[in-house]
Amino acid sequence: MTGQVFIDSSYRYPGVEVTWAGECPLTGGLCFGTESGGILVPLPDATGEAAWLVNDLGDVVNAVAFGDSYCVASTPSRVAIVDLFSGEVLQVLSSGAHDVVSLDGDRFLLSAGIGGMRIVSVRNRQVYVTEHSDQDRPTYFYLATRLTNRPNEILVAIAARQSGMLSATISRSSDNVTIAAHLFPESDIVSVVGIPRDEFACGAVGLDADANLLVTRDILKERPTQIRFSEMPGRAYTIRFVGPHLALLTSKAIHLIHDFSSQISRIVAGSCTGTRTAVAPVQASEIYVAFDRYLLVELDNEISALDVKTVFDFEEKPLLTFASDSFSPASGRKLWSPTPGKAEHSIKTIPIAPPPSFSNVELTATCS
């Protein structure tokens, strides 16, 4: 079943501080994690109303990942496994995580700092947890991203603070994990993202705190090439691909590098000439991506949804609605859905400013 889902230009909910944003398979739209430990789901009807999937985790939600029948919400102090049919919190793990990645079915990877990583599996409403770490050295597992699914394994890239970039190869038939590292001890790697091109399915781009990039076409076989920009002021926080464009967040601005994914081979070969870039001089807390087109910008307790096609393709109007396939579990059970009109569970947006505006510049960089 296909329906129309409304993407507003901005989201702010009275008394709610949004701390994470992403796609919601329950509605085909967006959902938000909150400072109070909730997952807030806007209704897919353009009314501005939203409902809580869960709202009692007791700590700041920093990431949410969806599986077939469950979602996992991570906070600094605990991790919750939530039933997507009832909204019930099935179990709370007593230690937190920086990030959570959906692997397959109802299996998830948690990156847990110096504690390494954990694989969480839910089978028949029972939660199973295995712990894994880099046996060769103390390593701080920070943010993670799934790169590709192979017939027998799943590949994940991990940003390792003060260490480098990690790969984790995870068996499909068990929780066996092989961890390998590209060491960059002089760099504080703070973010990592996969490359959205089929020929680079095992490729990744890392970001260090000085806004330098680490680019590899195959994290299992090729040591990353370092890219140093001549002008990138501020401390770097996050990188995300929005379609082919690379969004880079620093403490001073959002940089949107045009068609970065098609330039990977040239960059790895050592050609780092200037590239078309759009810059918005805003101090955002975080950026997220939805539907390979929207950059979700966290600004002062609000989320601004920017249609990236309007940044580089100025003749195209913003896309306010889009077709989305409904989330349909194999079990046939009825999923939880937000119910309008329930005051104890519903909350409405309030009008705020439009998304940040960008200006075009050209970046120069050196490769090593």
pLDDT score for 352: 44
The Cα 177–Cα 290 span in angstroms is 29
120-175 confidence digits (pLDDT tens): 999 999 999 999 999 888 899 999 999 987 889 999 999 999 999 999 999 998 88
- Ordered by where they begin, the domains of the chain are 2-331+346-367 (2.130.10.10)
**What pLDDT sits at residue 72?**
98
Q: Could you tell me which of 178, 168, 164, 123 has the C-alpha nearest to residue 148?
A: 168
Predicted confidence at residue 337, as pLDDT, reads 67
Identity of the residue numbered 76 = P
Q: What is the DSSP letter of 273?
A: -
Comparing C-alpha atoms, which of 281, 263, 261 is closest to residue 272? 263
Percent of the chain with pLDDT over 90: 57
Start-end of H helices in 137-280? 264-268
Helix (H) or strand (E) holding 359: strand 359-363
Q: Report the distance separating Cα 60 and Cα 77, nearest Å.
A: 9
Q: Which of these, 28, 23, 26, lies nearest to 2 by C-alpha position?
A: 28
What are 77-135's pLDDT values in tens digits?
A: 999 999 998 889 999 999 999 999 999 999 999 999 998 999 999 999 999 999 999 98
Residues 125 and 172 sit within 8 Å (Cβ to Cβ): no
